[in-house]
Amino acid sequence: MKHAGWKNDSGVLWLVMMRNDDLFDCKGRELFDPLHKADAINTLVSIGDKRKYYRFRPARFYGGIATADCVGCCLQCLFCWSWDKVIRPDRCGTLYSSGDVARRLARIARKKHYHRVRISGNEPTLARDHLMQVIRLLPRNILFILETNGILIGADATYAHDLARFDNIIVRVSLKGCSEREFSYLTGAVSRGFELQLQAVENLHEAGVCVQPAVMMSFSSPEALRDLRVRLGAIHRDFSDPELEEVILYGNVADRLKDACLRYVRAYDPAATPNDQI
């Protein structure tokens, strides 16, 4: 096992990982299967119709949106701003029914005169029945933005068809890097997970769901981003121009990236985040 890098004209180091298998990342950490992890985490954060959440809040993103922050994710992204909930889902959060969540979101939206709501924080597509019921209980004049890594939707096309039943939903699939190798290093998961992310975009598009791919590209070379655009464009030409995400240095994100020897091209202080990242 080894890792190497090359520098561009600006002196930025791009990480290149080289290994003959898909069991370890370039730091020697064992990779996990995100589908198996999803099953395991689900047992910790949901019971029947109830799922764990750790807060409900108004947020400035999307021009103003009511937000329910859930607990539990099937990835472990090193740049995640909610890392403590990701790695300790059994120690945080409170169980809420789908009705409780829908009412709280609608109440925040009415109070703030928002027209959008979302579930954020960790991965909303865990506890599938709970998610569907939350969307079903929301007023139809409120737009639900589903922010997801897409893993479960990519693994099961029926998930996309279930979401297609709602006409007040947009699904934003956040790709973790521009390639399989970047995905594994950023998330700790086997590279197949990246293929599932791309498959989610395709499944949603084919089901008729309004879908917007986004990509975390703070760790990617221009060539990697160009290659990803080609792959997305092969699904549909509109997807060749994905939303570009860059790291926001919430909490101890910077220290965590440093410990992992992971360099970003560009990142932002939370208080100075540009409008195109909000």
Q: Domains in the chain, please, with CATH? A: 2-277 (3.20.20.70)
pLDDT at 19: 37
Residue corresponding to tokens 């590209």 = 217
Confidence label for 262 from pLDDT (cuts 50, 70 and 90): confident
Quote the CA–CA distance of 2 and 126 in Å, as a whole number.
Answer: 35
Question: Is residue 21 pLDDT above 60, yes or no?
Answer: no
Look at residue 63 and tell me whether its pLDDT is greater than 70: yes
% the chain with pLDDT above 90 = 77
Confidence bin at 143 (pLDDT 50/70/90) = very high
> In the prediction, which pLDDT does 276 show?
53
Average pLDDT, the chain: 88
Look at 267 and 4; give whichever has higher pLDDT.
267
pLDDT of amino acid 79: 93
Selection from 269, 169, 189, 154 nearest residue 29 by Cα: 189
19 or 30, greater pLDDT: 30
Task: State the pLDDT at residue 275.
Answer: 57
What pLDDT is stored for residue 252 in this prediction? 84
pLDDT of residue 54: 97
Q: What pLDDT score was predicted for residue 8?
A: 35
**Six-digit token pair at 269?**
């202080």
pLDDT higher than 70, residue 97? yes
Distance CA 67, CA 45 (A): 18
Sign (positive/negative) of CA torsion 177, 175, 266, 243? positive
pTM for the structure as a whole: 0.87
Report how far Cα 73 is from the mean position of its chain's Cα atoms. 9
Q: What's residue 128's pLDDT?
A: 98
What are 267's two structure tokens? 């990142």
**How large is the average pLDDT for residues 183-190?**
96
Residues in the chain: 278
Look up residue 30 and give its two tokens. 């064992």
Q: Is the pLDDT of residue 35 over 70?
A: yes
Q: Where are the alpha helices (DSSP H) in 58-112?
A: 83-87, 98-112
Q: Which of 177, 162, 254 is nearest to 220 (CA)?
A: 177
